[in-house]
Protein backbone atom coordinates (compact mmCIF):
# COMPACT_ATOMS: atom_id res chain seq x y z
CA UNK A 1 0.00 0.00 0.00
CA UNK A 2 1.34 3.40 -0.99
CA UNK A 3 2.29 5.84 1.75
CA UNK A 4 1.04 9.44 1.86
CA UNK A 5 4.50 10.45 0.63
CA UNK A 6 4.17 8.21 -2.44
CA UNK A 7 0.57 9.26 -3.13
CA UNK A 8 1.61 12.91 -3.21
CA UNK A 9 3.42 12.29 -6.51
CA UNK A 10 0.25 10.96 -8.17
CA UNK A 11 -0.89 14.55 -8.83
CA UNK A 12 -0.81 15.64 -12.47
CA UNK A 13 0.38 19.24 -12.08
CA UNK A 14 3.05 20.72 -9.84
CA UNK A 15 4.72 23.99 -9.02
CA UNK A 16 8.33 23.53 -7.90
CA UNK A 17 9.62 26.50 -5.91
CA UNK A 18 13.24 27.13 -5.10
CA UNK A 19 16.37 29.08 -5.86
CA UNK A 20 17.95 26.94 -8.55
CA UNK A 21 21.04 29.10 -8.80
CA UNK A 22 21.85 28.39 -5.13
CA UNK A 23 20.71 24.76 -4.68
CA UNK A 24 20.32 21.95 -7.19
CA UNK A 25 17.34 20.24 -5.58
CA UNK A 26 14.61 22.32 -7.27
CA UNK A 27 16.06 21.53 -10.70
CA UNK A 28 16.38 17.81 -9.89
CA UNK A 29 12.76 17.68 -8.72
CA UNK A 30 11.62 19.73 -11.72
CA UNK A 31 13.40 17.44 -14.18
CA UNK A 32 12.20 14.29 -12.41
CA UNK A 33 8.58 15.40 -12.56
CA UNK A 34 8.89 16.39 -16.23
CA UNK A 35 10.39 12.98 -16.97
CA UNK A 36 7.37 11.38 -15.30
CA UNK A 37 5.11 13.28 -17.71
CA UNK A 38 3.78 15.77 -15.17
CA UNK A 39 2.86 19.37 -15.90
CA UNK A 40 5.44 21.38 -13.97
CA UNK A 41 5.78 25.12 -13.45
CA UNK A 42 9.13 26.39 -12.17
CA UNK A 43 8.79 29.03 -9.44
CA UNK A 44 12.15 30.71 -8.97
CA UNK A 45 12.84 34.31 -7.98
CA UNK A 46 16.54 33.87 -8.79
CA UNK A 47 16.30 32.63 -12.40
CA UNK A 48 14.41 33.71 -15.51
CA UNK A 49 14.15 30.15 -16.77
CA UNK A 50 14.76 26.53 -15.82
CA UNK A 51 15.75 24.16 -18.62
CA UNK A 52 14.43 26.67 -21.15
CA UNK A 53 11.03 27.04 -19.42
CA UNK A 54 10.12 30.52 -18.21
CA UNK A 55 9.81 30.79 -14.43
CA UNK A 56 7.33 32.69 -12.33
CA UNK A 57 8.81 34.57 -9.40
CA UNK A 58 6.37 33.38 -6.73
CA UNK A 59 3.42 31.07 -6.21
CA UNK A 60 1.24 34.20 -6.19
CA UNK A 61 2.02 34.61 -9.92
CA UNK A 62 0.68 31.21 -10.96
CA UNK A 63 -1.96 31.47 -13.65
CA UNK A 64 -4.09 28.37 -13.74
CA UNK A 65 -4.82 25.41 -11.53
CA UNK A 66 -1.93 23.53 -9.97
CA UNK A 67 -2.63 20.46 -7.83
CA UNK A 68 0.54 20.40 -5.75
CA UNK A 69 3.51 22.53 -4.77
CA UNK A 70 6.98 21.34 -3.86
CA UNK A 71 8.74 23.96 -1.74
CA UNK A 72 12.50 23.62 -1.79
CA UNK A 73 13.15 26.99 -0.22
CA UNK A 74 15.18 28.34 2.69
CA UNK A 75 13.42 27.98 6.04
CA UNK A 76 13.00 31.76 6.19
CA UNK A 77 10.71 31.60 3.14
CA UNK A 78 8.58 28.53 3.77
CA UNK A 79 5.76 30.04 5.85
CA UNK A 80 5.14 32.76 3.25
CA UNK A 81 5.24 30.17 0.47
CA UNK A 82 2.72 27.99 2.33
CA UNK A 83 0.37 30.99 2.54
CA UNK A 84 0.90 31.71 -1.20
CA UNK A 85 0.15 28.09 -2.08
CA UNK A 86 -3.11 28.20 -0.14
CA UNK A 87 -4.06 31.54 -1.75
CA UNK A 88 -3.40 29.98 -5.18
CA UNK A 89 -5.81 27.13 -4.35
CA UNK A 90 -3.09 24.51 -3.95
CA UNK A 91 -4.07 22.00 -1.27
CA UNK A 92 -1.13 19.58 -1.50
CA UNK A 93 2.21 20.97 -0.33
CA UNK A 94 5.57 19.29 0.13
CA UNK A 95 8.26 20.95 2.24
CA UNK A 96 11.67 19.62 1.32
CA UNK A 97 13.55 18.03 4.19
CA UNK A 98 14.93 20.46 6.75
CA UNK A 99 12.97 23.39 5.30
CA UNK A 100 9.97 23.12 7.61
CA UNK A 101 9.49 25.53 10.47
CA UNK A 102 6.97 25.59 13.31
CA UNK A 103 5.39 28.65 11.66
CA UNK A 104 5.10 26.95 8.24
CA UNK A 105 3.60 23.82 9.82
CA UNK A 106 1.12 25.88 11.84
CA UNK A 107 0.13 27.91 8.76
CA UNK A 108 -0.50 24.74 6.75
CA UNK A 109 -2.65 23.29 9.50
CA UNK A 110 -4.60 26.55 9.94
CA UNK A 111 -5.17 26.74 6.17
CA UNK A 112 -6.29 23.09 5.90
CA UNK A 113 -3.47 22.00 3.61
CA UNK A 114 -2.28 18.46 3.05
CA UNK A 115 1.33 19.15 4.02
CA UNK A 116 4.13 16.61 3.90
CA UNK A 117 7.62 17.28 5.23
CA UNK A 118 10.69 15.65 6.67
CA UNK A 119 11.97 13.85 3.60
CA UNK A 120 13.68 14.51 0.28
CA UNK A 121 11.47 15.11 -2.74
CA UNK A 122 14.20 14.08 -5.15
CA UNK A 123 14.29 10.45 -4.02
CA UNK A 124 10.70 10.06 -5.23
CA UNK A 125 11.05 11.61 -8.68
CA UNK A 126 14.68 11.53 -9.76
CA UNK A 127 16.43 8.50 -8.39
CA UNK A 128 20.10 9.04 -9.23
CA UNK A 129 22.74 6.88 -7.54
CA UNK A 130 22.89 8.88 -4.28
CA UNK A 131 19.13 9.19 -4.12
CA UNK A 132 18.72 5.44 -4.69
CA UNK A 133 20.70 4.89 -1.48
CA UNK A 134 18.65 7.57 0.29
CA UNK A 135 15.45 5.94 -0.95
CA UNK A 136 16.62 2.48 0.15
CA UNK A 137 17.48 3.72 3.66
CA UNK A 138 14.17 5.53 4.05
CA UNK A 139 12.30 2.39 2.99
CA UNK A 140 14.22 0.38 5.61
CA UNK A 141 13.35 2.93 8.27
CA UNK A 142 9.67 2.99 7.25
CA UNK A 143 9.83 6.68 6.32
CA UNK A 144 9.24 6.39 2.58
Distance CA 65, CA 90 (A): 8
Given pLDDT bands bounded at 50, 70 and 90, which one contains residue 99? Answer: confident
Distance CA 69, CA 14 (A): 5
**Residue 86: which of 56, 62, 50 has the closest Cα?**
62
Distance (Å) of CA 33 to CA 92, 107, 140: 15, 26, 24
Q: What is the mean pLDDT of the chain?
A: 86
pLDDT of the residue at 134: 56
pLDDT tens per residue, range 9-61: 999 999 999 998 777 778 889 999 999 999 999 999 989 999 999 999 999 99
User: Which domains does the chain possess?
Assistant: 4-140 (3.40.50.720)
Residues facing 53 on adjacent strands: 50
What's the pTM value of the predicted model, to 2 decimals? 0.85
Amino acid sequence: MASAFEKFWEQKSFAVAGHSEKKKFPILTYRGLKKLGKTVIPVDPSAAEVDGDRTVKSLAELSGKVEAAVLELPRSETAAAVRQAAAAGIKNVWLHQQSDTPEALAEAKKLGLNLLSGTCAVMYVNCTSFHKIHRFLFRLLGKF
